[in-house]
A and B are shown apart, each in its own frame.
Chain A
Amino acid sequence: MAQTAADKIWNTHIVRSDDDGQDLVYIDLHLLHEANTPQAFAGLREQNRRVRRPELTLGTEDHVTPTVGGTDISGGVAERYLTPMRRNCHDFGIELFSLGHESRGIAHVIGPELGLSQPGTTIVCCDSHTTTHGAMGALAFGIGTSQVEHVLATQTLPMRRMKNMRVTVDGVLPPGVSAKDLVLAMIRRIGTAGGQGHVIEYQGQAIRSMSMEARMTLCNMSIEAGARAGLVTADDVTFEYLRGRPHVPQGAAFDEEVEYWKTFVSDEDASFDKEVRLDAAALSPHVTWGTNPSQTVGLTEVVPSPSEFADPVERLAAERAVAYMDLTPGTPMKTVLIDAVFIGSCTNGRIEDLREVAEVWKGRRVAADVQVYLVPGSEGVRRQAVEEGLDRTFEAAGVQLRSPGCSMCVSVNGERLAAGQRTASTNNRNFEGRQGPGVRTHVVSPAVAAATAVAGRLAEPSDLEDRT
């Protein structure tokens, strides 16, 4: 029977099957961060259980880490979380990239960067944005803390098979339109439950012409469409990305892996439970106006009126959203003034994102009254940016390149804005309070964030005056 790529990965990972349709699935890579794991280790200790495969487990410090001020964690939330994280990883024999480690970064940035996230593998992490690794052709999904404990103890998870959904994106993205705009437009169309219970496989010309990092942005935000996972099957772009990375076999062994990786593609006649088709050429930069990621419009559009929503639930949500966001229906998005810009996160904290920002800022300065937070996704990304001299462009624009971490994507490291402030952010969620209680978040692409930082209002690069 014809199979999807996700089914093939699933089938190669079944340890055993139950009569009730539940499979025990083997996990190839288990990533941990400090925020959602203390209770899992406490559970292991209570039951006197060990970690079955510490060498398939990797810890990183990303959520509570400061982005300025070095490795001192004394006092406050960093110490509170990092102290148990370090003890737990040490006691259970798990490698941990602590503050100061040259490979540290956001879990979903370092997995691909180190070549740990490989096609055909299963990857889990105590974080909903684990879907990012699907860009590598892996089946990758976020789990809760109880499941973390389960994977630590058994290296498996009992699960029902995911349903299959296909999003086909025809054509190619116009200049100035990014994977971020594509995924926002998709969520606007299918809603925050559009992918529920499914793994979304992305196909089509637009996907094949995307870089690996753009695919990561796309898969990353699959969770915002409610999907269990996002997936782009591996191709030459994937193989070239992986070649030479630390955890990937070298030489002839690499070629052997490529042959293996190539087997994880969907059969031509594989059937999908749900199908969506998008035209890349028709897309433009997008921005969220509300408090869930489906509340999105094109940057050249206006704030919608709640009365436009036929569905009473959506109408009520829109009423709440415009009130929280303090927006007047009918206002052109490009006239909305911004107090702060955040560039970074597992969605858009990679080198290509920083290059795009530098390109916009070259010969320009950010507006004096806009606070800008520029946070790379990993130490590797930061090093690369400095090697390329991007840091000098940032500095000339008036922005400091910080140290890596989740920072203001989730604002649990103390970096947050004040209630009532409005931000353009390259993160993934415009939820109420996501960047601090009462803070109003507009999710955008790196290019739009960079242009907005210069203009002081929502803008795209073509709106900016000439460089000096």
Chain B
Amino acid sequence: MKPLRTHVGTAVPLRRSNVDTDQIYPAQLALTGSLTRTGHAPNLMGEWRKEPDFVLNRPEYEGASILVAGPEFGTGSSREWAVWALVDYGFRVILSPRFGDIFRGNAANNGLVAAALPEPAIEALWEQVEAAPQLPLAVDLEGRTVSVNDHRFAFEYPDDFRWRVMNGVDEIELTLRHSDDITAYEARRRPSLPKARGPEAVK
């Protein structure tokens, strides 16, 4: 995972709300898509991209790395495919008033920032970007701000996700360093708790 502290890039305005993960990555495409974490860009918003004037098809937004979306982005299915497709397409930052919880965590686990801004800020960013599609936005994860022209907007982003993305760490490796704590927990864990392997395991 590539660490990200600051990011400068152009943006795409997606004036839609409740962009659920079925829209970000239609399930039918997921099942014929790559079985690895890469190679998913062609399927990003696969159904909507069939509409010729859909914003991702517009040449003026080509090369954008920041997506500015309406509220409730990434609700619905837990499919991490949605994040893989966004990352594979080249997005590093998603801005929206609110995100689906599972999506937001999945994004952090793949180095994709899902930063929450109030609706008026999103509206202002849409207007700026639509007026000047090649306008660069500057995202500062340390200060939790996004800047465009002379405007600076503060965003909300949880501490643990921020730390994870800024350091690009392998979180499993970090947890494995606490294996002794896990073993100690298991030693005090209630012995009668169920085991998934065969009813004979439960006596």
List residues of A whose CB falls within 8 A of some B CB. Answer: 15-16, 18, 20-22, 24, 26, 28-29, 35-36, 38-39, 42, 47, 49, 52, 54-58, 64, 77, 80-81, 84, 95, 115-116, 118, 121, 126-128, 142-147, 149-150, 153-156, 158, 160, 192-193, 196-197, 223-224, 226, 228, 246-249, 253, 256-257, 260, 291-292, 313-314, 316-317, 320, 410-412, 416, 429, 431-434, 436-437
Contacts and interface: CB of A to CB of B under 8 A. Distances in A.
Contact of B160 (A20, A38, A80): A20
Given A320-B16, A410-B77, A432-B23, 11 more contacts: A36-B78, A77-B32, A127-B78, A145-B80, A146-B109, A146-B110, A158-B175, A247-B196, A248-B194, A412-B30, A431-B23
The winner among B16, B31, B185, B202 for most chain A CB atoms within 10 A is B31
A192 B75 contact: yes
Contacts of B72: 192-193, 226, 292
A400 B186 CA distance: 47
B190 A248 contact: no
A416 B27 CA distance: 12
Contacts of A22: 160
Interface in B141-179: 158-160, 163, 171-172, 174-176, 178-179
A21 B160 CA distance: 8
Interface of B: 15-18, 20, 22-23, 26-28, 30-32, 35-37, 47, 70-72, 75-81, 83, 98, 100-102, 105-106, 109-110, 119, 158-160, 163, 171-172, 174-176, 178-179, 181-182, 185-186, 189-190, 192-199, 201-202
B172 to A, nearest CB: 5
A64 B31 CA distance: 9
Contact of B101 (A29, A42, A226): A226
Contacts of B171: 150, 158
Contacts of B30: 35, 412
Contacts of A317: 16-18
Contacts of B110: 146
A436 B26 CA distance: 9
Contact of B176 (A26, A126, A154, A410): A154
A316 B15 contact: yes
A411 B28 CA distance: 7
A39 B77 contact: no
Nearest to A141: B102
Contacts of B27: 410-412, 434
Nearest to A146: B109
Contacts of B17: 313-314, 316-317
A36 B172 contact: no
A34 B172 CA distance: 22
Contacts of A429: 20, 22, 76-77
23 contacts: A24-B182, A35-B31, A39-B80, A52-B182, A55-B196, A142-B102, A143-B105, A144-B79, A144-B105, A146-B80, A147-B109, A154-B179, A155-B182, A158-B171, A224-B76, A226-B100, A260-B192, A313-B71, A412-B27, A412-B28, A431-B20, A434-B22, A437-B26
Given A35-B30, A154-B172, A193-B72, A246 B199 contact: yes
B80 A431 contact: no
Leading 4 A-B pairs by shortest Cβ distance: A144-B106, A58-B196, A146-B109, A144-B80
Contacts of B16: 316-317, 320
Contact of A147 (B20, B36, B105): B105
A26 B182 contact: yes
Contacts of B158: 160
B22 A24 contact: no
B197 A54 contact: yes
Given A38-B35, A193-B98, A228-B101, A128 B77 contact: yes
B79 A36 contact: yes
Contacts of A142: 78, 102
A126 B21 CA distance: 14
A292 B80 CA distance: 20
A81 B34 CA distance: 11
A56 B182 contact: no
A158 B171 CA distance: 9
A153 B176 contact: yes
A176 to B, nearest CB: 29
B36 A39 contact: yes
A21 B162 CA distance: 13
A433 B22 contact: yes
B101 A55 contact: no
B57 to A, nearest CB: 17
Nearest to A292: B18
A156 B109 CA distance: 15
Contacts of B22: 429, 431-434
B80 A36 contact: yes
A57 B196 contact: yes
Nearest to B70: A313
B83 to A, nearest CB: 7
A12 B78 CA distance: 26
A118 B23 CA distance: 34
Nearest to B103: A144
Contacts of B80: 36, 39, 144-146
